[in-house]
Amino acid sequence: MKITHSRKVVAAAAILAALACAASADDKSKSKNPVLSSKEAVEQRRAAFNLVGKSFKPIGGILKGEVDYNSVDVVELANRLVFLNGFLHGTFPEDSNVGEPQSKAKAEIWKDKEDFKKRLKEFRANTENLLAVAERDKAPSSAFKEAAQKVAQDCKGCHDNYKLK
């Protein structure tokens, strides 16, 4: 009796799992994104940007003269920025224009799609450049400062246009 009962439970769990799978597959097809539902997309981009903020902060501090270059591992921070860029890919599907309080992404993102895409691409390229310069110079050289400044401008430029305060 006991065995039959637990088999039933297992079978029910399997059915539920299959249903959950089907439901989420349906969710995902709506977002026109093969990987993320709209909710997942918002969560992932916010998580990625949150860590982008934490990773860039010391570099911004170096630019302002508030942080000593040698007190932080700049190559590691730049590495993280490049790595985190990968997580942003595909996180702005059409149906993730959900507004506040879930998201601070402005509706303009989905109006000026090409411009926003271009900014994301440049952001990625500029973080890759920052990493290359940091690995080469290993010092707060003028090339490093220029590369870091470019990334800082990417943050500010995009936020001014596409992020709610």
Interacting residue ranges for ligand HEC, rule: CB under 6 A: 42, 45-46, 49-50, 52-53, 56, 103-105, 119-120, 123, 151, 154-155, 158-159, 162-163
Closer to ligand HEC at the Cβ: 13 or 80?
Answer: 80
Closer to ligand HEC at the Cβ: 2 or 66?
Answer: 66
Both tokens of 73, joined, read 């591992």
Closer to ligand HEC at the Cβ: 135 or 157?
Answer: 157
> Are 38 and 31 within 8 A, CB to CB?
yes
Residue 100 falls in which region: left (phi positive, over 0), alpha (psi -120 to 50) or beta: beta
Both tokens of 101, joined, read 């309080």
Closer to ligand HEC at the Cβ: 143 or 150?
Answer: 150
Task: Give least dist CB 46 to ligand HEC, A.
Answer: 4
Angle at 154 between CA 79 and CA 55, to 5 degrees: 35
Task: Give least dist CB 7 to ligand HEC, A.
Answer: 45
- Longest Cα–Cα distance in the chain: 77
Q: How far apart are CA 67 and CA 75, in angstroms?
A: 15
Task: Give least dist CB 123 to ligand HEC, A.
Answer: 4
Task: Give least dist CB 13 to ligand HEC, A.
Answer: 34
Q: What is the amino acid identity at position 34? A: P
